[in-house]
Amino acid sequence: VGMWRAGVARPLARTLTWRPSTVYPQQPLPLAQLLNDTTTGCCSGVLLRNTPVHIRAFTATAMQRGVEYDHKRVESKWQQHWQHTHHHNNQHAAKAGGASEKRYVLSMFPYPSGNMHMGHVRVYTISDTIARFNRMRGRQVLHPMGWDAFGLPAENAAIERGIPPHNWTMQNIQTMKTQLNRLGVSFDWDREVNTCTPEYYKWTQWLFLKLHEHGLAYQKEAYVNWDPIDQTVLANEQVDAEGKSWRSGAIVEQKLMKQWFFNISSFADPLLDGLNDLKRWPEQVKTMQANWIGRSEGALIDFKVKIANNTLTDAPEALRVFTTRADTLCGTSYLAIAAEHPLIAALLDNTGKKEDSIQIAAQLSSEQKAQLQSQVESLIQTRNRKDYGNTKSKAGYYTGVDAINPVTGDSLPIYIADYVLMNYGTGAVMGVPAHDERDYEFAQLHKLPIKQVVEPATTGNKNKNKKKEEGGPTPDEWKEEGSFTTQDGVLVNSGSLTGMTSAQARQHVARQPFATTHKTYRLRDWLISRQRYWGAPIPMIYCVGSGAGGDRPGCGVQPVPEDQLPVVLPTDIDIKAKGGSPLSAVKKWLHTKCPKCGGDARRETDTMDTFVDSSWYFLRYPDATNSNSIFDAKQTNKWMPMDVYIGGIEHAILHLLYSRFITKFLSAKGYINCAEPFPNLLAQGLVTGRTYKDPQTGEFVPAKYVQLKSDKPFDTRSDKELVVSWEKMSKSKYNGVDPNTIIDEWGADTGRLLILFKAPPSLELQWDDDGMVGPHRWLVRLWNLAHEFAQWSATLVVPTAATIPQEQQQHVLIGLTHETVAKVTSDLDEPHYSFNTAVAALMKLSNQIKLDPKLAADNPANYVSLLAFRSLVLMLFPMAPHIASEMWAVVSNCTNAHAAFAHVLPASLTATLPTWAGTFHPSTNNTTTDNNNNNNTLADIMAQNWPLCNDVLLPSQETFTVVIQIGGKPRGTLQVPASLRGNKDALTKLVLNTENNNSNNNATTTATTTTTTTTTTTATTTSQTTTTTTSIHTTHTTRHHT
């Protein structure tokens, strides 16, 4: 019931920090049982499950020295030091010897919501680890940070809380900046960008003008979500699952408005083909982008339109349909068009004027038009519901108009259907029920004929003549008999096309006068207009002419001259104004002069989609303070393309696609040299939290109402057993974790280590506070070791002579240290980024590092352990920078031990000692003033280089062990020659040959093994041997013999 502490005195007592858990035991645990471990091995933070305490323990000897690990003191001290010395601001300036190699390390910048969540902690811990590692390797590093600050949440907050969006946003930025500094992230704050400042969005507007200048920014009508009560446009997020406005509760309508678009579709082929060059992108992300672009190759087919009385229109313009299956043309039963198709507008036009190349001479009756109008509105309303994608609706209505099949001459009814989208192809499709499941279901629902025109390889056909009253054959029945097929085959029932293969028929149809080959894309042009206030104003002006009566016609739409940028957002605004964008109510801002004729004009009141702001921010960082141009090409080309881009996979489509588009545009126009901004993408998985849910109601239950009974969770209010799942952290699910709480209680370094250690970066990370115990215990053990080494060195009486260590154990430790250096270096560098195995390797090394105070004074074994420990601290620094900095300051003062033993070690050790264990002697360029005591100096770990592996000191091994896993399950081990280490192809071949030999020797089973995916190899080491786990993904076909 709150925080409380207890000190316990006993010979090897621990200081216990007690923290109540949310789950209380029915019986208290005896204190003696809590303290039953009396070893001096520094057991820290052991969690006793089903008890109300977490225990953190420190050895009594460490306490007596007054060096208890106080993470708050240590982290505050080094954060102040970094801030005071601007330690990270200019770290991209190369160290000696590394001037030619750069690393641009970037994590996706956040929306400043006001508080970090664990997803932020994960992505920024990863980027900081990579940046620090590369700095220590002497590379030039650019590791900047900024804010994606425009957007709807600030506007909503202004409405709900009465806070101006700018004020709310800037407060949140300051809060999050403080949290990031507490995490110890080494961002270059001198290059900070903020998308909502005029200094930034001036160049966003400049980018719009350049796109407009080259014909890539244009206007056309498009539907928006319209609130009829508040008379305003709503974002999709402001429409609930029932299609109602979050503001007024009104049913949201679809309204046509002129809006601005970027012509991204003209870059569809470069965007799609460019994916082939992105070798270091996850295949999943490339597939998602390829599907979003959705290139389809087929044919455009023209169907003449007629009205119900079979009289062709006076101007029989064609209804144009795109299809990838022109071979099935003779099987068409109907045509389906989108509700927004121009044919609908023509049918509803009483004037009979020509519109979008379609003219209907004979109009529908007034009653038919009213019915058609109602059906169109109903379809649009249904399609815009948030749950529409899950309904699999096949709703459709007959328009009263037919078309003519250009091959068979058959009359085909034209339907409006909710599954047809105006923004794909031509907004019209042909329905071929026998060879498409969706079309089949639509035809069944609307009782339309089904005609097979493609014969599959095998056919039974017993179901194809099933009576109509029996419902007709289902797709499953057709598939069972081989008649229903969506695949290519041989044409039947197709007149002159009969007997052709599908490929031959497609080519034949495409050569006819009514058809032409065509490529289409799922990718639509980028709608960038937002009828809201908090965004970058679109720099366009509408000239309305001069004079009160408009005696001189206007000049139309004109771009704002570049020397008048930025068009600054006004601050005196009523955010709740009705009737479109709130900017339209700011008359002083709205009214201006035409830049072409000087006549009266008004500004564009739409603002830009926030994706525009984030589509180029990474190009600004190298030259973030440039007020004369969007960036200096020399500076940006120096850093681009970036070396690693880190962010959540939820941004895999739109943000990455839009950024690639803008980069390709700027590259094509000569502003930058690279065409792909992110050749190396590290897409980290979600951070999920333990979630409790009522299985009957589906309601989420806060952890404070959860009690464990026999390891099963129950709701204390209803005594119902709950379902436990791991889901994305959310306030509504009561599974969120406040990073501030983690930092306060455990420290930033412990949290960073858990983030890196618990799961590979690309996989989901299931956050559990219990997991903090292990990393914290390990850090405390290292902390104590550092101070033990310092105490040993300080009290060491330097012998007149020292012996060279001959013990095998010390040779093993030196070899293991260099093995660990090689592994951690590989794990932290591209393309691996295997942070979890890097931490595991350091833990493994630490288990072999010991200080024995009983050794003779002239025995340098403890000195060898000190060297290994120093190397470990250097490798730990990128991942846990605060404690590593403090421990390095401690062990760097072990000069007494260095003086005693360094000169008597083997030459192979002493010659390369600084390259793998750092320098011992403080100098003016690697010390810093202690913020707590100006008379002390602290060795600065950032002045040290990354440890280098000395191959001469590696343990010699003729063989190593391969652990074979098939389908994720261990199947055995194999001794492999050391020469095959790292050779995946050779290892795979050896393992498969061994498995086949074993299978062939089995008297009852013959196994045929086929490799279906690339073999992956992960190496782990021990002090004596090396074990490699090789996962072979295989397909087995087994025959059992009698």
Cα–Cα distance measured from residue 652 to residue 686, given in angstroms and rounded to the nearest whole number: 13
pLDDT tens string 979-1008 = 777 677 788 888 787 655 554 444 333 333
Residue 834 has pLDDT above 90, yes or no: yes
Q: What is the DSSP letter of 107?
A: E
List Cβ neighbours of 1032 (8 Å cut-off, separation of 6 or more). 964, 965, 966, 988, 991, 992, 995, 1011, 1015
Cα–Cα distance measured from residue 1000 to residue 998, given in angstroms and rounded to the nearest whole number: 6
List Cβ neighbours of 921 (8 Å cut-off, separation of 6 or more). 895
* Confidence band of 1030 (pLDDT split at 50, 70, 90): very low
Cα–Cα distance measured from residue 1014 to residue 1032, given in angstroms and rounded to the nearest whole number: 8
Residues facing 939 on adjacent strands: 927
Q: What is the pLDDT of residue 623?
A: 96
pLDDT tens string 33-51 = 444 333 333 333 333 333 3
Write out the H or E segment, with its range, that includes residue 303.
strand 295-307
Residues facing 767 on adjacent strands: 689
Let me know: does 188 contact 104? Beta carbons within 8 Å: no
pLDDT tens string 82-102 = 888 765 444 444 343 344 689
- CA count, 13 A, side-chain hemisphere, 681: 27
Let me know: does 787 contact 890? Beta carbons within 8 Å: yes
Cα–Cα distance measured from residue 839 to residue 824, given in angstroms and rounded to the nearest whole number: 8
pLDDT tens string 745-786 = 999 999 999 999 999 999 999 988 888 999 999 999 999 999
CA 955 and chain centroid, separation = 40
Write out the H or E segment, with its range, that includes residue 344.
helix 342-347
pLDDT tens string 255-273 = 888 999 999 999 999 999 9
- CA count, 13 A, side-chain hemisphere, 947: 30
Q: What is the pLDDT of residue 34?
A: 40
Higher pLDDT, 329 or 546: 329
- CA count, 13 A, side-chain hemisphere, 908: 11
Higher pLDDT, 481 or 706: 706
Hey, what are 851's tokens?
Answer: 């200080």
Full 3-state SS string of 877-898: CCCCHHHHHHHHHHHCCCHHHH
Hey, what are 410's tokens?
Answer: 């058959």
Q: What is the pLDDT of residue 458?
A: 58
Q: What is the pLDDT of residue 23?
A: 37
Phi, psi of 178 (to 5 degrees): -60, -40
Q: What is the DSSP letter of 226?
A: E
Instruction: Compute the residue count for the chain.
Output: 1042
Let me know: does 490 contact 455? Beta carbons within 8 Å: yes
Distances in Å between the Cα of 150 and the Cα atoms of 200, 213, 610 are: 11, 25, 6
pLDDT tens string 566-622 = 999 998 888 876 767 889 889 999 999 999 988 999 999 999 999 999 999 999 999
* Confidence band of 376 (pLDDT split at 50, 70, 90): confident
Residue 157 has pLDDT above 60, yes or no: yes
Strand 765-767 vs strand 687-693: parallel, antiparallel, or unpaired?
A: parallel
Among 37-41, 228-232, 652-656, 727-731, name the one with the lowest average pLDDT: 37-41
CB neighbourhood size of 121 (10 A): 25
Residue 303 has pLDDT above 60, yes or no: yes
Tell me the percentage of the chain whose pLDDT exceeds 70. 75
Higher pLDDT, 648 or 782: 782
Full 3-state SS string of 971-1023: EEEEEEEHHHCCCHHHHHHHHHHHHHHHHHCCCCEEEEEEECCCCEEEEEECC
Distances in Å between the Cα of 613 and the Cα atoms of 27, 204, 369 are: 58, 6, 44
Mean pLDDT of 110-126: 91
Phi, psi of 196 (to 5 degrees): -95, 5
Cα–Cα distance measured from residue 523 to residue 1041, given in angstroms and rounded to the nearest whole number: 54
CB neighbourhood size of 695 (10 A): 10
Residue 11 has pLDDT above 60, yes or no: no
pLDDT tens string 906-918 = 776 777 888 999 8
Write out the H or E segment, with its range, that includes residue 301.
strand 295-307
The angle formed by the CA atoms of residues 290, 291 and 297, to the nearest 5 degrees, is 85
Hey, what are 843's tokens?
Answer: 């833990």
pLDDT tens string 218-244 = 999 887 888 888 777 776 766 777 778
Q: Locate tokens 């010699």: which residue?
A: 956
